[in-house]
Every structure is written in C-alpha cells, then in structure tokens.
Amino acid sequence: MSVRVAPQYIREVKQAYKRRCHTQQRLAEELGMNRDTISKFVNGKFISYSYFEEICQKLGLNLEKIADFEIEENEPSDSSERLSSLEERLLGYGGLSDLQSPSNPVEPPPQHRFPVLFDRILEIDFKEQSQRFKQVIELQRTAGFLVHGEPCYGQQFLLNRLLRLIPGRQNQSPIKIDVSSSGVGKSIPNLWRELTACLQLAREATPTEIMDRVCDRWQTQDVIFVFYTVDYMPPGMLSEWLQEFWEPLVTRAKKSLPQGDKHLLMFLVDNCGSVGQSSNVRLAENFEQPEYPFRLPPASLFPREALDEWIDNLSMSSQLQIPTGLTAKVLLERSNNGVPHYVYEEICRHCGLSWEGVLAKWLI
C-alpha cells in the first residue's frame, strides 16, 4: 500500500523537517533508506506505507493526520536509481549542452561542473562570520567555533562556506557526528565510542589513544570535527564533553605541531540558538584561547542589501542566468523577511529546481 503527505499538509511537514535541520542524505542514512524516498515524502509523492510510518516517527509527525491514501497512478518505484528531471536540470546548470533523457542515461559529468547553483548560493551574505573565522585561523592552527542561530537560519550553509575558507584545504571529509542521532549526545561514553568508529579505532580505545590518532593524522592533513545539533544535548553535557575532549586535545596538539599550514578545527552546530545563549558552555573571550570554542556572530536574516548585491553579482555570471522575476524584494516577501533557508528554497523554485530534492545533498 502506498501513501503520501496530503497536499494541505506539505508545508507543515517541510517545517517539521527544517526544524530538525536534516538534509535528505543524513535523514536517509539514519533511517537506512534511499534519499529519493525522503525527497518523495517531503514533496508529497507516494511511497510505501512502512517507509511513511518510519519517517513520521522520526520527525514526530501525526501519521493519521497527514496521510493521503489515494490510489497512485504511474508513480515510479522507491528503488529507482535514475536521475530525476530536477537533477538533470541541475546538471544542465553546470554546463551540459543538452538535458539527458531518463531513458538514455549517460555517465555523469565531472563533479566540479554541476554544483554551480550551490556554489553561488554559498556567496549570499555571512560576511561577518567569514571575516571573524579568517581572523582566527590566521592566528591559530587549532580552533573551535560555535556556528549558531535560530532554526532555518542557514547554519549548514554557513559551515560549508567557512570550510572553503581554510587555506590550502584538500578534499578530506570532516569527521561528522550528529549528536541527536541514536542517543549519541546523551552521554560522554557514547560520544567517545562514536569517535572511535569515525577514526577506525577499536571500540575499547581510550581517550588517550583517540587523541594520539587525531594528532598523527594532523601531521599530514587538516583534521576537522563537526558536531551537529549540539542544542539537543542535555544541559551541562556539552560543557563536560569539551572539558574531556577538546581542551585536552588542544593541549596535546600544541606539543606536536605539524609542518606546513595544517589546521585542527572543531565546529559546534547549534540549530536552535540555545547554546549561544547558555552560560553552561565556556567560550573563548579572544583569539588567543583555542582551547575554548570561539563564538561566531549568530546567523541572522538576510538583509535587502545583501540580496541585492548577490543578484547583481549573479547577473555577471557566465554560467547562470538570473531567472525571470527573481529580485531581492521577491525573495524577502517569500522568505519571512529573509530567513536564509526560505531564501534558498525560493531561489531554487525560480530556477526550476527542488531544494530538498537536489541541492541539499551538497551540504557537508
């Protein structure tokens, strides 16, 4: 039996999805599903009842309220691995001369060609945060940062932008831990165990062995930790974790500085703005305290002048054309006065793309 989100509840579902600041890829991985299934759910397409039920439980949604059991017609199966038409359009924005037909699949283009729109979206505002970040990493080889703001204020986009500012950074993937997943952030032992898995150490590895592995890796590459949704951690837990993990790691790292311009960095992503307002977590008071996370300016509403500047810059791009009707005024009116996540959605809509279905997968 197939089921979908009833059209009148799609907006409510998307708001629930955004409040948790999931990306489709992360949610799919947590539930063991195909990302395409998550995209269909969020956008009101038919999926199997068992998947629908599981996603509702994960997002805290009332299944009986939002479900539509109408008979679906000609709906492709959840297991389909072909590119959707929206994804094909994205490839087109990256420079393909012709859209490829789903019935005639071809090899995908080089990776650098198709996230063009994503790259342009990363250029919107966040100037103050970017400037502070560059000031810190110019002075310190080790540093922690609190990326914070109200829900849907673009914390993940800000994180992606900051990562691109690291001098000489290669394409090593950050060590990513979602502390809201499977109770990871509910206890310190859970966090240590998650780190052992990320660093490919034995489950019983000690904190000292974990820090040794980190410092060994740092000798040859940047090491970057990203702790997502730290606002889900119980009061005092984040402070305790930083005292057990980050502060000793920074002390240990000072004794084994690598050659070259490699960085040891940590990002704490607060999706609700609660950590930045808490007195439980000690934050750096100046650039000379790498053992404490540095509080970046909070993510905030995009102002009119920032959107005007972005559209002006887009008009000079040879890879993208400004869609008809896309203006700063329109973006503000349709994004609750500049809420970043809604701005991104509106830009995608004007480009004929789906934010959830296509661009979110480029987030770190």
Beta-strand relationship, 47-48 and 2-5: antiparallel
Q: For the chain, what is the mean pLDDT?
A: 81
Q: How confident is the model at residue 95 (pLDDT cuts 50, 70, 90)?
A: very low
Residue 96 pLDDT > 50, yes or no? no
Highest mean pLDDT among 1-10, 179-188, 202-211: 202-211
| Cα 295 from Cα 301, distance rounded (Å) | 18
Higher pLDDT, 289 or 34: 289
Q: Do residue 286 and residue 306 come from a single domain?
A: no
Q: Do residue 331 and residue 195 come from a single domain?
A: no
Q: Do residue 39 and residue 99 come from a single domain?
A: no
77 part of a folded domain? no
Kindly report, residue by residue over 233-242, the tens digit of the pLDDT: 988 999 999 9
Return the amino acid letter for 324: T
Q: Would you state the pLDDT for residue 315?
A: 82
What whole-number percentage of the chain has pLDDT above 70? Answer: 81
Residue 87 pLDDT > 70, yes or no? no
154 part of a folded domain? yes
For 164-255, strand residue ranges (E) read 175-178, 223-228
**Structural domain of residue 242, as residue ranges?**
127-295
Q: Would you state the pLDDT for residue 74?
A: 45
Q: Which of the listed residues 41, 68, 95 is the one where a domain comes to its end?
A: 68
CATH, residue 47 = 1.10.260.40
| Cα 257 from Cα 250, distance rounded (Å) | 10
Burial of 92 (0-12, 13-18, 19+ CB in 10 A): middle
Q: Would you state the pLDDT for residue 21?
A: 55
Nearest CA-CA partner of 293 in 257, 263, 268: 268
Q: Do residue 42 and residue 161 come from a single domain?
A: no
Q: Would you state the pLDDT for residue 124?
A: 94
What whole-number percentage of the chain has pLDDT above 90? Answer: 44
Kindly report, residue by residue over 105-144, the tens digit of the pLDDT: 333 333 333 467 888 888 999 999 999 999 999 999 999 9
Nearest CA-CA partner of 262 in 189, 192, 168, 333: 168
SS3 content of the chain, % helix, strand, coil (to 5): 45, 10, 45
For the segment 76-83, the average pLDDT, to the nearest whole number, is 37
Helix (H, G, I), strand (E, B) or coil at 315: coil
Q: How confident is the model at residue 91 (pLDDT cuts 50, 70, 90)?
A: very low
Residue 78 DSSP symbol: T
Kindly report, residue by residue over 39-51, the tens digit of the pLDDT: 888 888 888 877 8
Number of domains in the chain: 3
Higher pLDDT, 203 or 90: 203
Q: Would you state the pLDDT for residue 171?
A: 59
